[in-house]
Amino acid sequence: MGHDKLRKFAENKTFSCLLEPSSEEILRDGYFNLRDHSIKGNWARTMFGREEAEIVVELGCGKGEYTLALARRYPEKCFIGVDIKGARLWRGAKTATEENLPNVAFLRTRIEFITAFFAPGEISQIWLTFSDPQLKSENSRLTSPLFLERYRSFLKPGGLVHLKTDSRFLHEYTCAVAKANALQVLTCCKDVYSAGKEELPDPVVYEVQTFYEKMFLEMGLPITYMDFVIDHQGPYLHPSDFDEKYWRELEGKRRSFGHKAAD
């Protein structure tokens, strides 16, 4: 491990806005019986010093660019960025600390463990920004029925999931999941920067660009956006009419140059 990463990991321990729980503790009773962390149900009071708060989560936040941008724009709300990469979270936590942002926190954990950290109704919105489309593993996709079930366990009724991505595969797959489960889709835009501003619910969708998003735009890759409500009775169904082979082949051609250059 490089000296710079070691320095960042050491500094991470000094940030009050960054929570780095032990995976061993969460997994003590096994993968399918996760132990709840003490922060579960207590984010507003413990992390943000508020009796109650509307809390928004960004999953796979990377360096926290979106989490920070949302927190600056909406000081009345609280925002939590989640990622497993400590070196990436260092940048977000350091910026939040330097700017003294009281409504930002970061959580270092695997997204598969997310139910151990949030209580029923604790979260109002989820942002998924440029998530890995997981072309070959449906259950690893962050909009799969498996993950929607996890989100439903802690989202408030009527809570939103936002998906912003350069992956047409992930966008179309998510549309198919929403259709299969009769989910309410509020916005579905196949090209954020060609759409009229009135088509998008929040200026942050087109005004905030991550490092990778700028690279994808320079490569000519359209950025898609959708938001939807995951309220649903019963188990979530897998889409039966999604042409996975077609969209995977199309995605392979796009990502062969787009994401190789970005990595």
224-229 vs 184-189, strand pairing mode: antiparallel
Q: Which two tokens stand for residue 223?
A: 């950025």
At CA 188, angle to CA 186 and CA 189, rounded to 5? 140
Other C-beta atoms closer than 10 Å to the C-beta of 98 total 8
Which residues, in sequence order, are bridge partners of residue 187?
227
Which residue among the candidates 4, 29, 36, 132 is catalytic per the annotation? 132
**184: closest CA among 157, 222, 213?**
157
**65 and 94 Cβ atoms separated by less than 8 Å:** no
Q: Which two tokens stand for residue 131?
A: 């998530």
Q: Using CA atoms, how far apart are residues 191 and 213, in angstroms rounded to an integer? A: 13
Is 241 among the catalytic positions?
Answer: no
55-59 vs 184-189, strand pairing mode: unpaired
CA within 13 Å, CB half, 127: 25
Task: List active site positions.
Answer: 132
